[in-house]
Amino acid sequence: MARQSVAEQFVDVLSRAGVKRFYGVVGDSLNPVTDAVRRSAAIEWVQVRHEEAGAFAAGAEAQLTGRLCACAGSCGPGHLHLINGLYDAHRSMAPVLALAAHIPSAEIGTSYFQETHPDRLFAECSHYSELISHPEQMPRILQTAIQHAIGRSGVAVVSMSGDIAGQDAPERSTEPAIVTRRPSICPGREEIAELARLVDEAQAVTLFCGSGCARAHDEVMAFAERVKAPVGHALRGKEWIQYDNPFDVGMSGLLGYGAAYEAMHEADLLILLGTDFPYTAFLPEHVRIVQVDIRPEHLGRRSRLDLAVWGDVGETLRALTPQVREKNDRRFLDRMLKKHAEALEGVVTAYTRDVERHRPIHPEYVAAILDEEAADDAVFTVDTGMCTVWAARYLSPNGRRRLIGSFSHGSMANAMPQAIGAQLADRGRQVISLSGDGGFSMLMGDFLTLIHHDLPVKVVLFDNSALGMVDLEMMVAGYPPYGTTYPHTDYAAIARAAGAHGVRVDDPEDVRDALRETLAHDGPALLDLVTDPNAMAMPPRITGRQLAGFATTTSKLVLTGGVGRMIDLARSNLRNIPRP
């Protein structure tokens, strides 16, 4: 049998680690690897138009499947383009392996054509970034990279020159064993006992949940029931926690709503579950705080802690719940449920007046209808900008739907590229990209990737001809909006010219039918909705200074948005409060 090349061995090892596809753009330094992929039955090459889109796609696929996913860029500019998508994947804790092809190995360090130093470049957006400079090194470096990406949930980057990849690989006596599943981490007995003591001492416990509560819905609900705790969430916890939740008090943070803030501040014990919620200003100072997280480096970096617990949320709660005394006093919980329902009732009609006739179309109206029309197991990818607000407020999770955005990194242009990875992970699933016109046009070239690979992604474009979120930020800070508008563009015509289904709608009465038609279309489709750039959403906690800035710029804009179907949950939770 002919000797394997380093590139063939590379592809072989990746396929045994579960990688199904490589997103990227080919290039000289990548040739040995792309040729090995061409001949591989296990891994397909997904040709994209911009490497950043490939990195976003790999990150989304990894977030949906939990499997290691991969992307690649050729030397210099090719892999430089990966960087923003890799930051996003890394900060979303998505296991992604990136191959940064390198200039010829004999030229490194000479300012050669296209030279960069990828092992340095990617150090900040990865757990591991190493250069392979000898064929012997490859299997061990690749294995170490894979174990970093999977074991520590994030990005690992290997850099390799094309000439190294093209060489014969050394013979291997055995195949390396690769770990592809993570263990669960249960805290020690002492921590559980200490946590149980703090819970027993507290009169009013609030839980605040992040993405670390994935697949721990039952455990969170059982614990909340036992200690009669209101349950709030951060944006990344929404898809895991905000459904079938009799304890729901909404979301905290800049885009928050409901009574999560009050429940966190009026408790005497706040338990942060699997959240690296970044806004310290929203966390209380005079409340006992416990944090539970699988990553010890997250513990205590946002607030002072009375107890730090290193463990999985599910494991921790399974061990803890039987050890705490059941609380019978629901007064704090019921008061918070009432506050929450009142807060939502107060804003539920914020946008609804005349909305079926309002032109330009009100974006919240679109989001509300989309929530009703989308499939029960839809994947929503959400652009950074106002789409994130509409998704946070209007999309109803149910345990089967998924919500993916750039919620930690906050990059624009994430949604449509992420939809590519989401759709490739499951071609039969409904994948909807909620795109802003600014974000969409930033990586619009990869709309062609949907057509190229026949991916039936539905792009729902909130086309306000503006960088709306920044418009709002400028007004809040007291600056007159500047550099935030675009000329009107008919994106539906662009979609049709590219070979996709494209419809432009500017009459609110047409929204539902157009959405139905778009979602039912058997192929890539774009629905260009001409929306109102002046639709506002304000954080529930806004400082006097911020408000003053806002007020000097405009006085007639609505200060808060509506809340969609979550009001139903709040109302039914209120009905469940036992009558005295």
Ligand X SMILES: Cc1ncc(C[n+]2csc(CCOP(=O)(O)OP(=O)(O)O)c2C)c(N)n1
Q: Are 23 and 46 in contact (CB under 8 A)?
A: yes
Q: What sign does the dihedral 218-220-223-226 (CA atoms) show?
A: negative
30's tokens: 């990548």
Minimum CB distance to ligand X, residue 457 (Å): 17
Write the single-letter amino acid at 22. Answer: F
Residue with the closest Cβ to ligand X? 436
> CB-based burial of residue 522 (10 Å sphere; 0-12 exposed, 13-18 middle, 19+ buried)?
exposed
Minimum CB distance to ligand X, residue 459 (Å): 12
205's tokens: 């416990």
- Nearer Cβ to ligand X (25/474): 474
Look at strands 269-273 and 257-258 and give their pairing: unpaired
- Nearer Cβ to ligand X (263/537): 537
Output the CA angle 414-420-421, nearest 5 degrees.
90
Question: If we measure between CA atoms, which residue out of 267, 242, 266, 469 comes closest to residue 344?
Answer: 242
Beta bridge partners of 310: 293
Q: What is the C-alpha separation between 310 and 434, in angstroms, rounded? A: 35
Minimum CB distance to ligand X, residue 482 (Å): 12
- Nearer Cβ to ligand X (150/470): 470
> CB-based burial of residue 126 (10 Å sphere; 0-12 exposed, 13-18 middle, 19+ buried)?
buried
517's tokens: 């038609």
Minimum CB distance to ligand X, residue 475 (Å): 13
Would you tell me which residues interact with ligand X (CB under 6 A)? 383-387, 410-412, 436-439, 462, 464, 466-470
Minimum CB distance to ligand X, residue 440 (Å): 7
Distance of CA 341 to the CA centre of its chain: 27
Minimum CB distance to ligand X, residue 480 (Å): 16
Distances (CA, A) of 214 to 73, 166, 231: 31, 42, 15
Minimum CB distance to ligand X, residue 439 (Å): 3
- Nearer Cβ to ligand X (250/385): 385
Minimum CB distance to ligand X, residue 154 (Å): 20
Minimum CB distance to ligand X, residue 537 (Å): 10
DSSP for 25-71, please give it: ---GGGHHHHHHHHT-SS-EEEE-SSHHHHHHHHHHHHHHH-S-EEE
Distances (CA, A) of 211 to 87, 114, 297, 391: 18, 39, 16, 16
- Nearer Cβ to ligand X (228/236): 236
- Nearer Cβ to ligand X (88/371): 88
Question: If we measure between CA atoms, which residue out of 145, 70, 87, 165 comes closest to residue 121?
Answer: 87
Longest dimension (CA), the chain: 81
CA dihedral 426, 82, 461, 279 (to 10 degrees): 100
Q: What is the C-alpha separation between 75 and 246, in angstroms, rounded? A: 53
Minimum CB distance to ligand X, residue 545 (Å): 21
Q: Are 384 and 411 in contact (CB under 8 A)?
A: yes
Minimum CB distance to ligand X, residue 238 (Å): 19
